[in-house]
Homo-oligomer: A and B are copies of this chain.
Amino acid sequence: MSTAKAISPASAAAALTELWSPRVLAEVDDAYVKVAKVKGNLAWHAHPDEDELFLVLRGHLRIEMEAGAVELGPGEMYVVPKGVRHNPVADEECHLLLIEKRSTLHTGDVVTEKTRSLDEQLRPLPGE
């Protein structure tokens, strides 16, 4: 018998009860796969040493950057390169899959009331 279990990022994101509070779903080497439920805007910030992948599971996300914005619909993704200042904005509730290095701080070089520690991000998902 295998104990291997499929993971549904969409279900995990939908089960989240708190906005802007990413949770770690899986590790791939030194990268974390996270899900988050977001609405409104996070904060302008940058990750000087780490790229960050955003994949929209549900809804729409606008990633504002100084050179312009990218609009992501369901199933679309974008990688914000290291060092690029960005601000994720969702006019309506949006569910995301994120890929970040273990070392990445989700609000990068700024701390806001939305900043969550890695311990908070590693808490079990609702329903687990």
In the complex, which of the residues B10, B26, B27 contacts A75, with contact meaning CB atoms closer than 8 Å?
A: B10
Tally of this chain's copies: 2
A37–B71 CA distance with the chains assembled, in angstroms: 26
A26–B63 CA distance with the chains assembled, in angstroms: 17
A65 / chain B contacts, CB cutoff of 8 Å: 2, 4
Please determine whether A29 and B31 come into contact, CB atoms closer than 8 angstroms: yes
Give the nearest-CB partner of A75 in chain B: B10
Give the nearest-CB partner of A54 in chain B: B6
Decide yes or no whether A72 CB sits under 8 A from chain B.
yes
Please determine whether A28 and B6 come into contact, CB atoms closer than 8 angstroms: no
Decide yes or no whether A108 CB sits under 8 A from chain B.
no
* A9, chain B: closest CB distance, angstroms: 6
A63–B79 CA distance with the chains assembled, in angstroms: 28
* A122, chain B: closest CB distance, angstroms: 16
> Apart from A29-B51, A33-B77, what are 4 other A-B pairs with CB-CB below 8 Å?
A2-B65, A3-B68, A6-B71, A27-B51
